Structures are given as structure tokens and as C-alpha cells.
Structure 1
Amino acid sequence: MHYSFTIIIPVYNEAENLLRVEEAILDYLKIASAKTSILFVNDGSTDQSFQLIKDICIRNDVFNFISLKKNRGLSAALKAGFDAVESDLIGYVDSDLQTSPKDFNLLLEHIDDYQLITGVRVHRKDSFTKNMSSKIANFIRRAFTKDGMDDTGCPLKIIHTDYAKRIPMFKGLHRFLPAMILLQEGRIKQVPVQHFPRVAGKTKFGLRNRIFGPLTDCFAYLWMKRKYINYHIDKRS
């Protein structure tokens, strides 16, 4: 069966959330505005996540998975998903369900005119420290990338697959997806989406990798921007 839209769900030790993820995705599929499949990317989980993923995929034909041998981080999990997807569009949502899959329909409304649509989390339900560190990190990234995005860390995005596959991923680059689409001369847009508190599991990002890691990654991005190869084929035989 041909799907036009594949939602990637990276998973690292989220066993407490996965049954909720299954329920939320199945609810979304009832109203999805595109023919949609689901791809779990198990990022070397050490809890019961992988077994739960396999069980979910057995129960539901629309769910599939790939599993990384070792934990390699969010950027690696997304890269593995980008490489595996064959549909025209790729979506991404975190398995903590702090954003709603139903909001993919809001993003899909604009995808014909843009190469990447990202959510902007309004009325965020995180702690003061997490909110402030995210604001600082976004300010730093925006100053370096000039991408105009207010919330590049929002885990709800849709990208045209051909653009996603051309992103030269490195560790930490998940924070720069809009900027990497701009390097390909693509168009990007942000759309307000819902945000919810985390009700189970533990966050994988702290103050150190929310601010200091992205700061050093900004210099890597600037190097890549100077060296990035971009071309368009004019004619072929």
C-alpha cells in the first residue's frame, strides 16, 4: 500500500508512554488528512520499549519499526528514519506525547507551499527552568541561523522527504532542521500547536544539552553553511 505521509516516532526508554502513543496515533489516523503510516525508531532502549513496539506493530499493520543496535541520540534516530522512509512527506513527533498527533493536520494544511512546517508550542506546560533554557537556546540558534523560527525544538514537524534525505545530519542537528531546509533554498513555516505536560517517563534533555550543546553546534552549523553544496540540475539527456 502506498502512503503519502510517514510519521517517525523516535523512542528511547519510553515504555511508560508507548501504549498511550498507540492510542493517540490510532485516534489521529481516524481524522488524518493524508494516507499515513507510522515508523517507530527504537534508539537502543534498555527498558521494555522495544518489546512494546514489536507488540504494537503486530497489532496494527500501519505501524512499522526499525531498531538501532545502540543508543545514538535523537539526531541519529531521525537520520535512520529519514533514510528508511519512502513516502513523499515525513512527520516527526516525540513519544512523550507533549504534542498531539492530531495537530499534524494543522501542519499539513500548508505543506504544498512549504518544504518544512514546524509547530510552535503555545502555553507550554514545562517547568520554569525548562522553559527559560529553551527560550535562551532558541534565541542563540536564531541569532546564528537567521531562520526566524521561535521554537526549533518543537517535536512536531513535517518535511518533504526529498529535502529531509539531503540533510547532512550530525549529532545535535535535530535542532537545526528549519535552517537546513533554508540551506537547500526551501521554504519554512511555523504553526501554533498544543502543548501538554509530561505525565510519564523521564526527559532526556537537561540544562547542559539544552543550552551548552546547542551553542557549540551553532559553530558547526556556520561551518556547514559556508561549505554547503547546493545545486539544481538544469537539463539532462
Structure 2
Amino acid sequence: MTDVSIVIPARNEAPNIATLLDGIDAALAPVCDYEVIVVDDASDDGMAEVLRTRRATAPRLRVLRHDRSGGQSAAVHSGVRVARGALIATLDGDGQNPPEELPKLLAPLMAPDSEAVGLVAGQRVGRQDTLSKKLASRFANGLRARILKDGTRDTGCGLKAFRREAFLALPYFDHMHRYLPALFARDGWAVAHVDVSHRPRGGGRSHYSNLQRGLVGIVDLAGVAWLLRRRKKSRPTELTE
């Protein structure tokens, strides 16, 4: 039985994906039984061929392909839906999230008496990004934290681990991956935080601009704030006598 499913949303990461998969195997082979699901978000840079070649010698690797680009949240959602593991871990396909952080990320979910923990959120330390990207992220995280009060300083980190069933019970919307701590807490789950390292991008380029993130984020933040206010507050208890 598969313990953990690693879900990687990826678009046009042909220069990075093979090295990332090697790192995941090195990090997790001594730790648990796992599978790796790469969700190819309609790449056109040859990544599909790289993955096809890899699958011939990698029995743990599964590949999904979107017929059109749906974005990071759509790719994560597609991967989680077909995952066999009860626990899910995600990381970005660009190689900036070091796979050796995965065991540390999964540990709070695998620990004894961990039933209350639904999500473990990675928090990047020493970010290897441009100054403009870091400043934009700092502003967005600060605004989000003030409005949602989710206790998380870095929701944009791709390194996250969570319970599959709890994730699939969340309301889906594009860009939901940036609001997982608030959404899990809304459903009554405890959220743990783990500091993780960060690497420079190995090849290719980012698919999002700071302006693009900012404009979408304003709408999403308002929507998530509405969801938190409208959450179901009553919880049923079954009578057994």
C-alpha cells in the first residue's frame, strides 16, 4: 500500500524535472513507500518526452497531462484526485523546493497522536528570488495574514504536506494553493509550520509576473475571507445510546 503521494505541478520544466525526480527518490526511498505524480500542465517544451523516457525505468512515477494549461492549483487538484496515498506532499517543478526537505515536511503527519494535524506548510528561509519578487511576496503575505489571520508567513511556498481526504473536502477554486492554511483551519484542522530551504531556479523561467499575481490575489483574498465568514460552525455528534 502506498503511504505517500508526491504531487508535482509542472509546466515547461524540461531542464529541471529529471534532477528533481532523482532528488525525490534519494530523499524518500529510505523513509516510506511512495509514488510520484507529475501533472504536466500542457507543456510545449519537450517535458512530456522527458517524462515518457523516465517512466520506462521508474515504476513509482505516474504522469498526468492537462489538455490546456489550468495553473498550479488545478494541477495539484488533478494529482491529488488520482493519488493512492493517504498523505500528500507537493513541491514545485522548477527545482527551487529542495526534495530533501520532504521527510521533515511529512514528519508531523506521521508522528504518533498526529490525527489533529491536517496540513504542514513549508516556510522558505533564505529565498533565492529576485528582489522585486521577494518584496511583492512579502507585501502579499502580510496583507493576507492581516485579513485571514492564518498564522502563516509564506503561503506561496510549494512545499506542503496534507491529508488527502481533508484536501478534497475543501472548496476548489483557481489559486487555492496560496490559501491552504486558512482553508484547513476553517475545517477544524491544526496547521503545522516547518522552515525549509530554497534554491535558485535551475533552468527555464517563471510563468507568472508580480503584477499578474497581485491582480488575481486581490479577488482571491476577498473570496477566501467570505468563505471563512460563511463556514459551517455547528458540528454533529452521533448518539450511540
Relative to the length of structure 1, the TM-score reads: 0.93
8 Å CA contact 1:141–1:215 kept in 2: the answer is no
Q: Kindly provide the CA deviation profile for residues 143-178 of structure 1, in whole angstroms up to 9, marking residues without a partner as x.
A: 121101011001100001111111111111110011
Residue of structure 1 equivalent to 2:226: 223
3-state SS in 1 of match to 2:75: helix
Question: What is the correspondence of 1:183-202 to structure 2 with a 5 Å cutoff?
Answer: 183-202=186-205
2:20 is equivalent to residue 21 of structure 1 = yes
Question: What is the correspondence of 1:85-104 to structure 2 with a 5 Å cutoff?
Answer: 85-104=83-102
CA distance, structure 2, for counterparts of residue 58 and residue 177 of structure 1: 34
CA distance, structure 2, for counterparts of residue 211 and residue 136 of structure 1: 10
8 Å CA contact 1:9–1:93 kept in 2: the answer is yes
2:210 is equivalent to residue 207 of structure 1 = yes
Closer, same or farther: CA 28–231 of 1 in aligned 2, 3 Å: farther
2:114 is equivalent to residue 115 of structure 1 = no
Residue of structure 1 equivalent to 2:42: 44
2:8 is equivalent to residue 9 of structure 1 = yes
CA distance, structure 1, for counterparts of residue 231 and residue 53 of structure 2: 42
Structure 1, unmatched stretches of 5+, are: none
Residue of structure 1 equivalent to 2:155: 152
8 Å CA contact 2:27–2:103 kept in 1: the answer is no
The alignment's C-alpha RMSD in Å is: 1.7
Letter in 1 for 2:104: L
8 Å CA contact 1:119–1:193 kept in 2: the answer is yes
Q: Kindly provide the CA deviation profile for residues 16-41 of structure 1, in whole angstroms up to 9, marking residues without a partner as x.
A: 1122122212222333x222110111
2:33 is equivalent to residue 35 of structure 1 = yes
Structure 2, unmatched stretches of 5+, are: none
Q: Kindly provide the CA deviation profile for residues 73-123 of structure 1, in whole angstroms up to 9, marking residues without a partner as x.
A: 111111111211131100000111111111111122211432100111111
Relative to the length of structure 2, the TM-score reads: 0.92
Closer, same or farther: CA 161–231 of 1 in aligned 2, 3 Å: farther
CA distance, structure 2, for counterparts of residue 221 and residue 66 of structure 1: 28
3-state SS in 2 of match to 1:110: helix
Question: What percentage of aligned pairs have identical amino acids?
Answer: 27
User: Which has the larger displacement, 139-148 or 149-158?
Assistant: 139-148
CA distance, structure 2, for counterparts of residue 80 and residue 6 of structure 1: 13
2:199 is equivalent to residue 172 of structure 1 = no
The number of equivalent residue pairs is 235
CA distance, structure 2, for counterparts of residue 236 and residue 130 of structure 1: 53
2:78 is equivalent to residue 75 of structure 1 = no
